Structure 1
């Protein structure tokens, strides 16, 4: 994602860049997942490169199945600064364990699907 450090984007541009709807982006703000975003002289939201990087992280956490409550907890810890590094790492380690377990389940499911596809393909010959 290429955005200059001095460049800002509207809510629509930011949402499009990170693959969210503007509704979801505003919801993230309301839920406290996103720190208050800067505004222009007309009061419209203006997202920075730092804001976009944060949103990309949130979308990846969500895509990997992290519950919103854990995302909210992470955002709270991140705002508290360096003293919360260990807690943030522990939160990510727990989530990684859940992701790895889910990946193992999906691999088992894929094995069954591949077996069925192979089995049904034999009847086509």
Structure 2
């Protein structure tokens, strides 16, 4: 199957500008049609899924490009090990993000319970930062 730039961008919930940027820097392969417009195939879909996965882990564009460049080199144990190191680093970043998300969700659960207590009249409203002072400031959670 072949996709236009617009179809491809919509498929990945991004913009045409982003897709053009990725193709311009050689990160995302594409072909050109008779009118010299970018068109994308299933290989492009595979690459974009990989790009988004690495990006979701927090990889920089430069880091993703390094990984992609390694993938395009002739297969060898050295390139395989280099790609493996990058994937290990990104996995570590992904797990860090999971832990941060869990901590944020737990904090928000506490806030929901606190608001429910206020709304039910069990405690006074102490949620407006305008009324806080050094003694009544909530503890910072990071």
Q: TM-score with structure 1 length normalisation?
A: 0.84
Tell me the distance in 2 between the aligned counterparts of 1:43 and 1:109.
47
Matches within 5 A, 1:1-125: 7-35=1-29, 37-83=30-76, 84-125=79-120
Tell me the distance in 2 between the aligned counterparts of 1:10 and 1:120.
48
Q: Which has the higher strand share?
A: 2
Q: Any stretches of 5+ residues in structure 1 without a counterpart?
A: 1-6
3-state SS of paired residue (1:82): coil
In the TM superposition, what is the alpha-carbon distance from 1:67 to its structure 2 partner? 1.1
Q: 1:124 to 1:33 in 2, by over 3 A?
A: same
Q: Any stretches of 5+ residues in structure 2 without a counterpart?
A: 121-142
Q: Which has the higher helix share?
A: 1
Structure of larger gyration radius: 2
In the TM superposition, what is the alpha-carbon distance from 1:70 to its structure 2 partner? 0.8
Which protein has greater RCO, CA pairs closer than 8 Å, 6+ apart?
Answer: 1
Aligned residues: CA RMSD: 1.5
Q: TM-score with structure 2 length normalisation?
A: 0.75
Tell me the distance in 2 between the aligned counterparts of 1:45 and 1:124.
55
User: For 1:11-62, what per-residue CA distance to the aligned partner results, in whole angstroms no more than 9, with x for missing partners?
Assistant: 1121112222111000011222123x22222322221111112112212322
Equivalenced residues, count: 118
- State the 4+ residue runs in structure 1 displaced beyond 3 angstroms: none
Tell me the distance in 2 between the aligned counterparts of 1:102 and 1:19.
21
